[in-house]
């Protein structure tokens, strides 16, 4: 209140001072331009200028802070377009989820024309067109999505790759995915799609280079990755000899196979299933002695019951040395059914029939198996002990015919 009172006193004092000046001398102003003259007092001119300034300032503020009719109309039109777009998008997505592909494509494409996020609508419309096997419309909608949102190239390209893959267009899909790798090198979904393409194209070399990245970025579960790695390694071994010209010598085939084997990761060369496959390939090339040496070294470095079983199936260059090697393992693995089965087979190769029978029987006691039973029964028959072989088979009938249901059996008749 005090400040307002002082302000009023200042205004009144200034007014009184100006009024006194006006009374003493009103002043004279003459404005002449061409044939026109304006005469007025100085004070009237000053008041007129003040009024003009106030009016001009008011008009500028009015124009600045008030929306013109065209601005309001544009805002209303934009709001209406967005509302229509949202409604059509919702209807289109509903049709898409219900499998009404034609209706979904039409609604989503129309909504994209008024949407502030047209890419989403075009991608969904492209999916609907693809479900109708309309390749031309699908490609056009994908291109529209790319044109409206260039910065979302990765998203659009992933959708394109998925559609190409489902069409069976493997080579174009691979090209799209390789381009995506340069745009998004750490995208795990792109890696997964690449994995699928390489498998379908049987491009095992490329897949072998991708597998370390799949492991590094945890794209697959451990068991899935292990299965994929085994499949890839197995196919690489097959390709190393199957892709060679027909006239290639066995020696050159063996070199190619060994080169492929040595290029595999260490964990793969210790995989029982893969070692078995490699051994079978060596045997098919007539390199059974080479397979025996390789298998012997693997077993020494890493004991594996499956590999020990395979070792007994091989005919090495020196049967006696092979038997002595297996006997050496018995010192630290005397309770291994696989080793005893192998010892039985190697004893047979050295014509030690009695030892073979003992090894087979011991193996059968530790772990009854149809394989060991069959070997023992076969040996007994060839030794002329058919009765013992028949008794053995009768006592272990469950091993031969495993998985039979429990059924009632007739009572055995007493013999006279």
What is the spatial distance between Cα 319 and Cα 317, in angstroms, rounded to a whole number?
A: 6
What is the spatial distance between Cα 89 and Cα 114, in angstroms, rounded to a whole number?
A: 10
- Residue 3 exposure: Cα atoms within 13 Å on the Cβ side: 0
Strand partners, 39: 30
Question: In terms of pLDDT, which residue wins out, 97 or 237?
Answer: 237
* Residue 347 neighbours by CB under 8 Å, 6+ apart: 323, 353, 355, 356, 359
Residue 155: CB atoms within 10 Å? 16
Query: What pLDDT is recorded for position 416?
Result: 46
- Residue 76 exposure: Cα atoms within 13 Å on the Cβ side: 7
Model confidence over 149-161: pLDDT tens digits? Answer: 888 899 999 999 9
Mean of all residue pLDDT scores within the chain: 84
Q: Is the pLDDT of residue 124 over 50?
A: yes
What is the spatial distance between Cα 328 and Cα 322, in angstroms, rounded to a whole number?
A: 10
394: DSSP letter: H
Strand partners, 29: 40
Q: How far is CA 257 from the centre of its chain?
A: 31
What is the spatial distance between Cα 148 and Cα 119, in angstroms, rounded to a whole number?
A: 6
Query: What pLDDT is recorded for position 97?
Result: 85
What is the spatial distance between Cα 86 and Cα 381, in angstroms, rounded to a whole number?
A: 84
Domain ranges within the chain, ordered by starting residue: 19-58
Q: What is the DSSP string of 300-316?
A: HHS--HHHHHHHTT---
Q: How far is CA 283 from the centre of its chain?
A: 37
Query: What pLDDT is recorded for position 43?
Result: 64
Q: What sign for the dihedral angle of Cα 331, 337, 341, 342?
A: negative
Q: What is the mean pLDDT of residues 57-80?
A: 63
* Residue 95 neighbours by CB under 8 Å, 6+ apart: 101, 103, 104, 107, 128
> Which residue blocks in 99-203 are alpha helix, DSSP H?
101-112, 118-131, 135-148, 153-167, 170-183, 188-201
The listed range with the strongest mean pLDDT (104-113, 212-221, 269-278) is: 212-221
Buried b (16+ CB within 10 A) or exposed e, 116-140: eebbbbbbbbbbbbbbeebeebbeb
């Amino acid at each position: 209140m005090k400040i307002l009172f002082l302000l009023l006193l200042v205004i009144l004092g200034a007014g009184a001072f100006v009024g006194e000046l006006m009374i003493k001398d009103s002043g004279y102003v003459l404005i002449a331009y061409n044939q026109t003259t304006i005469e007025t007092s100085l004070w009237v001119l000053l008041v007129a200028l003040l009024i003009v300034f106030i009016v001009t300032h008011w008009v500028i503020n009015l124009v600045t802070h008030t929306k013109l009719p065209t601005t309001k109309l544009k805002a209303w039109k934009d709001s209406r377009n967005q509302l229509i777009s949202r409604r059509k998008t919702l209807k289109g997505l509903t049709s898409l989820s219900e499998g009404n592909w034609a209706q979904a494509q039409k609604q989503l494409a129309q909504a994209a024309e008024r949407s502030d996020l047209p890419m989403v609508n075009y991608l969904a419309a492209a999916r609907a067109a693809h479900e109708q096997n309309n390749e031309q419309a699908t490609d056009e909608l994908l291109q529209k999505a790319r044109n409206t949102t260039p910065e979302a190239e990765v998203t659009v390209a992933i959708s394109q790759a998925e559609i190409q893959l489902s069409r069976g267009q493997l080579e174009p899909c691979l090209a799209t995915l390789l381009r995506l790798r340069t745009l998004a090198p750490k995208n795990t979904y792109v890696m997964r799609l690449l994995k699928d393409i390489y498998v379908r194209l049987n491009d095992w070399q490329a897949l072998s280079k991708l597998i370390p990245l799949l492991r590094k970025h945890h794209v697959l579960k451990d068991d899935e990755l292990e299965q994929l790695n085994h499949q890839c390694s197995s196919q690489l071994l097959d390709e190393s000899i199957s892709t060679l010209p027909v006239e290639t010598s066995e020696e050159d085939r063996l070199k190619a196979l060994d080169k492929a084997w040595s290029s595999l990761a260490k964990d793969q060369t210790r995989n029982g299933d893969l070692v078995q496959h490699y051994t079978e390939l060596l045997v098919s090339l007539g390199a059974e002695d080479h397979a025996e040496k390789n298998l012997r070294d693997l077993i020494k470095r890493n004991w594996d019951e499956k590999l020990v079983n395979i070792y007994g199936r091989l005919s090495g260059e020196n049967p006696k040395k092979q038997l002595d090697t297996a006997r050496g393992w018995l010192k630290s693995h005397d309770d291994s059914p696989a080793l005893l089965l192998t010892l039985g087979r190697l004893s047979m190769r050295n014509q030690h029939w009695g030892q073979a029978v003992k090894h087979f029987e011991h193996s059968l006691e530790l772990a009854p198996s149809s394989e060991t039973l069959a070997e023992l029964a076969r040996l007994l028959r060839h030794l002329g002990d058919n009765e013992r072989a028949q008794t053995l088979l009768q006592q272990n009938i469950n091993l031969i015919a495993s998985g039979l249901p429990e059924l009632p059996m007739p009572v055995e008749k007493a013999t006279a």
